[in-house]
C-alpha cells in the first residue's frame, strides 16, 4: 500500500459492529461518489485478522466496485492497553500527512489511546492535520465527561476533536436550519405569540438487542435524551446565527441549552418507564429484564418524557414536551403546535372538526415537512375538517445519504458544524444529571407494554396541561 496517501483514516475498535454497519459503508459510499480520493483506511483491533479476512468481514452485502475500494484497507492488530504495541502503529503512520483517528472502542479505552497517540507524537500537525473522532457516549455523567475531556485535550486541541452525535448528520435534521432561516412564513410564526407548545418524539420500535452491556449502564436518558433530544431542542429554538460557520451556529445552540430548564419540580415535569412484555408487529416481545444479560432487578429506564422550559425572550412560556423510548414506534418528529384562534365562528358548527394548526418536521422514517390546517369539508352541509399540506423529501428523491457519510465528509473538510462542542456536552450532562439525581430518591419506574406509546404517566404529563401527544 502507498504510505503517502493524502488522507489516512485510522479506526480503533475496527472489529466491532459499528465499523461493519456504519463506518465502512459510509466511506465506501463516499468513495463511489468520488468524494474521497487518495486515501487509506487502517483498521485497528484486538482480534487476529489478515488484511483480506478483515476486508471480507466488513464487506457489504451489495458491493459494486468493492475490490477497488477494499485495496485501501489494511488491518493492524493492537491491544489497546499494551503501551509497547503503539510503536508499530507509529511506524506504520510515519509517512502519513493528514490523519483522522476514529475511536470506535468502548469508552474506557479513549483516554489511553489518546495518551499513546500524544506520546508517539501522532497528534502533532507539523506535516498535516490530525483529527480525532469520539463516538457517543461522551462520558456517563458530567464527572466522567470532564475526565474524558481533560484526557483528550492533553493530546488534542479543541479544534482537533470531533464529538459525534450521529443524529446531527441526518439530512432532515440539517434541513431544520434551512427551513427556519430561509422562509418568511416560518420566521414570522417562530415566536411565543404564535406557538402554543412544541413536541419532540424520538422513539424506536426495537428493544436493546445485544447491547445490554452498554444500555443497562446508560438507559434512555443518557442514550437519547442527553444527546439527540437536547440537540434537537437547540436547533429548533436557536436564534439566527451571524454566519454559517461552526462557531456561530454552536454559540447560538449553546445559548438555548443555557436557557433550558425543567418546567417545575421533577416529580411533575418528568416521567421514566421500562418496557415489559407486549406485542410488536403482531409478534410477542419480551420485557426489558428478560433481555439477554440484563440483571433481573434492573432499574434502568428505557423511556423518558419531560416538560422543559426556555427562559429566553422568544420562547418564554412555551413548554417543550419531549419523549424517547425503546419498544414503542420508529419515529422522530418535531411538532410545532400553534395557538388556536378565538372560537367565534366555524367551531360552533355541529359538523366542525377544527384542530390546532401544526407544523411537523419529520426526521424518520419519513423525511419532510407538513402543515396541518383547517379547510371546508366536502358535501352540502358547511363544515370544517383538518387538511394537510405536505412535502416528503425521501418520497420525492428516494434514499438520502446516511448520517455517517455526511459526517465523514465534514471531518475530512474540517467542518465542525455537525459536531458538538465541549460546552454543549457539559451543559447537556448538567441537565441530564439532574434526572439521575432525582431518580436516586424517587424510585418510581412504571412499566409499559412493548409496542405501546409508553407509560400512561407520560400521557398524564401533557394531558394535565390540556394538551395531547400528536
C-alpha distances (whole Å) from 390 to each of 29, 352, 373, 396 are 30, 22, 11, 12
User: What pLDDT does 344 receive?
Assistant: 67
Q: What is the mean pLDDT of residues 132-136?
A: 91
Contact of 406 with 169, CB cutoff 8 Å: yes
CA angle, 226 then 229 then 235, to 5°: 120
3-class secondary-structure state, position 378: coil
Question: Any idea which residue has 394531558 for its cell?
Answer: 463
Choice among 134-143, 197-206, 329-338 with the minimum mean pLDDT: 134-143
Higher-confidence residue of 236 and 170: namely 236
Q: Which CATH class is domain 7-135?
A: alpha beta
Q: What is the mean pLDDT of residues 200-226?
A: 94
C-alpha cell, 388 = 394537510
pLDDT digits (tens, 9 = 90+) for 280-289: 999 999 999 9
Residue 80 pLDDT class (50, 70, 90 cuts)? very high
Q: What is the mean pLDDT of residues 50-76?
A: 93
Residue 2 pLDDT class (50, 70, 90 cuts)? very low
Q: What is the pTM of this model?
A: 0.93
Q: Reply yes or no on whether the pLDDT at 457 is more than 90.
A: yes
Contact of 395 with 188, CB cutoff 8 Å: no
Contacting residues for 448 by C-beta, under 8 A, at least 6 apart: 273, 274, 275, 276, 278, 303, 325, 454, 455, 456
Q: Go through the chain and tell me how many residues it has.
A: 470
Q: Classify each residue of 405-415 as buried b or exposed e, where b means 16 or more C-beta atoms within 10 Å of its C-beta.
A: bbbbbbbbeee
Q: What is the mean pLDDT of residues 371-400?
A: 84
Helix, strand, coil fractions of the chain, as percent rounded to 5: 40, 25, 35
Write out the residue limits of the CATH 3.40.50.720 domain(s) in the chain. 7-135
Residue 110 pLDDT class (50, 70, 90 cuts)? very high
Estimate to the nearest angstrom the gap between the alpha carbon of 26 and the chain centroid.
17
> How many angstroms separate the CA atoms of 12 and 42, rounded?
9
Q: Which of 31, 166, 228, 416 is catalytic?
A: 228
> How many angstroms separate the CA atoms of 317 and 311, rounded?
8
| CATH 3.30.360.10 holds for 168-463 | yes
Q: What is the mean pLDDT of residues 257-261?
A: 98
User: What pLDDT does 5 receive?
Assistant: 74
Contact of 314 with 190, CB cutoff 8 Å: yes
The mean predicted confidence, pLDDT, of the chain is: 93
Contact of 113 with 146, CB cutoff 8 Å: no
C-alpha cell, 158 = 479543541
C-alpha cell, 369 = 415537512
User: What pLDDT does 385 receive?
Assistant: 85
* Known active-site residue 197: no
Contact of 171 with 404, CB cutoff 8 Å: no
Is the bond leading into 431 cis (omega within 30 degrees of zero)?
Answer: no
Choice among 54-63, 94-103, 109-118, 227-236 with the minimum mean pLDDT: 54-63
> How many angstroms separate the CA atoms of 76 and 214, rounded?
26
Decide: residue 35, CB within 10 A, 0-12 exposed, 13-18 middle, 19+ buried. Answer: middle
Q: What is the mean pLDDT of residues 422-447?
A: 95
C-alpha distances (whole Å) from 172 to each of 176, 331, 362 are 7, 13, 7
Write out the residue limits of the CATH 3.30.360.10 domain(s) in the chain. 168-463
User: What pLDDT does 4 receive?
Assistant: 59
Q: Reply yes or no on whether the pLDDT at 1 is more than 70.
A: no
Helix or strand holding residue 322 (H, E): strand 320-325
Q: Where are the alpha helices (DSSP H) in 183-229?
A: 184-189, 212-220
> How many angstroms separate the CA atoms of 331 and 191, rounded?
26
User: What pLDDT does 354 receive?
Assistant: 74
Residue 401 pLDDT class (50, 70, 90 cuts)? confident
Decide: residue 250, CB within 10 A, 0-12 exposed, 13-18 middle, 19+ buried. Answer: buried
Q: What is the mean pLDDT of residues 266-283?
A: 97
When computed from its CA atoms, the radius of gyration of the chain, rounded to whole angstroms, is 24
3-class secondary-structure state, position 313: coil
Amino acid at each position: 500500500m502507498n504510505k503517502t496517501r493524502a488522507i489516512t483514516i485510522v479506526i480503533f475498535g475496527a472489529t466491532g459492529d459499528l465499523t461493519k454497519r456504519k463506518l465502512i459503508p459510509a466511506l465506501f459510499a463516499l468513495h463511489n461518489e468520488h468524494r474521497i480520493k487518495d486515501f487509506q483506511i487502517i483498521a485497528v483491533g484486538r482480534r487476529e485478522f489478515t488484511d483480506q479476512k478483515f476486508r471480507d468481514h466488513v464487506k457489504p452485502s451489495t458491493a459494486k466496485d468493492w475490490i477497488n475500494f477494499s485495496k485501501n484497507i489494511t488491518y493492524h492488530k493492537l491491544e489497546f492497553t499494551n503501551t509497547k504495541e503503539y510503536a508499530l502503529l507509529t511506524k506504520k503512520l510515519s509517512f502519513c500527512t493528514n490523519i483522522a483517528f476514529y475511536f470506535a472502542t468502548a469508552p474506557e479505552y479513549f483516554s489511553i489511546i489518546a495518551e499513546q497517540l500524544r506520546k508517539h507524537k501522532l497528534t502533532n500537525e507539523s506535516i498535516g492535520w490530525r483529527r480525532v473522532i469520539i463516538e457517543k457516549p461522551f462520558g456517563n455523567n458530567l464527572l466522567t465527561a470532564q475526565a474524558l475531556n481533560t484526557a483528550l485535550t492533553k493530546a488534542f486541541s479543541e479544534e482537533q476533536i470531533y464529538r459525534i452525535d450521529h443524529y446531527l448528520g441526518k439530512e432532515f435534521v440539517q434541513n431544520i436550519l434551512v427551513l427556519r432561516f430561509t422562509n418568511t412564513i416560518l420566521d414570522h410564526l417562530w415566536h411565543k405569540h404564535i406557538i402554543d407548545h412544541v413536541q419532540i418524539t424520538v422513539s424506536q420500535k426495537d428493544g436493546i438487542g445485544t447491547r445490554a452491556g452498554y444500555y443497562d449502564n446508560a438507559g434512555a436518558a443518557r442514550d437519547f435524551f442527553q444527546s439527540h433530544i437536547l440537540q434537537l431542542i437547540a436547533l429548533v429554538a436557536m436564534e439566527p446565527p451571524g454566519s454559517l460557520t461552526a462557531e456561530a451556529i454552536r454559540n447560538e445552540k449553546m445559548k438555548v441549552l443555557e436557557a433550558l430548564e425543567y418546567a417545575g419540580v421533577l416529580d411533575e415535569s418528568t416521567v421514566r418507564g421500562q418496557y415489559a412484555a407486549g406485542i410488536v408487529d403482531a409478534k410477542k416481545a419480551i420485557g426489558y429484564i428478560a433481555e439477554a444479560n440484563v440483571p433481573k432487578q434492573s432499574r434502568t429506564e428505557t423511556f423518558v418524557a419531560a416538560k422543559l422550559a426556555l427562559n429566553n425572550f422568544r420562547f418564554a412560556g412555551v413548554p417543550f414536551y419531549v419523549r424517547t423510548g425503546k419498544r414503542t414506534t420508529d419515529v422522530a418528529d418535531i411538532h410545532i403546535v400553534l395557538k388556536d384562534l378565538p372560537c367565534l365562528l366555524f367551531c360552533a358548527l355541529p359538523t366542525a372538526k377544527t384542530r390546532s394548526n401544526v407544523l411537523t418536521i419529520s426526521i424518520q422514517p419519513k423525511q419532510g415537512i407538513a402543515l396541518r390546517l383547517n379547510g371546508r369539508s366536502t358535501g352540502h352541509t358547511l363544515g370544517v375538517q383538518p387538511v394537510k399540506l405536505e412535502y416528503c423529501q425521501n418520497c420525492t428523491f428516494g434514499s438520502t445519504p446516511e448520517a455517517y457519510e455526511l459526517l465523514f465528509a465534514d471531518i475530512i473538510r474540517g467542518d465542525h458544524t455537525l459536531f458538538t462542542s465541549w460546552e454543549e456536552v457539559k451543559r447537556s450532562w448538567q441537565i441530564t444529571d439532574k434526572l439521575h439525581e432525582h431518580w436516586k430518591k424517587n424510585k418510581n419506574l412504571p412499566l409499559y407494554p412493548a409496542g405501546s406509546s409508553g407509560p400512561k404517566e407520560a400521557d398524564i404529563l401533557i394531558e394535565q396541561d390540556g394538551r395531547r401527544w400528536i
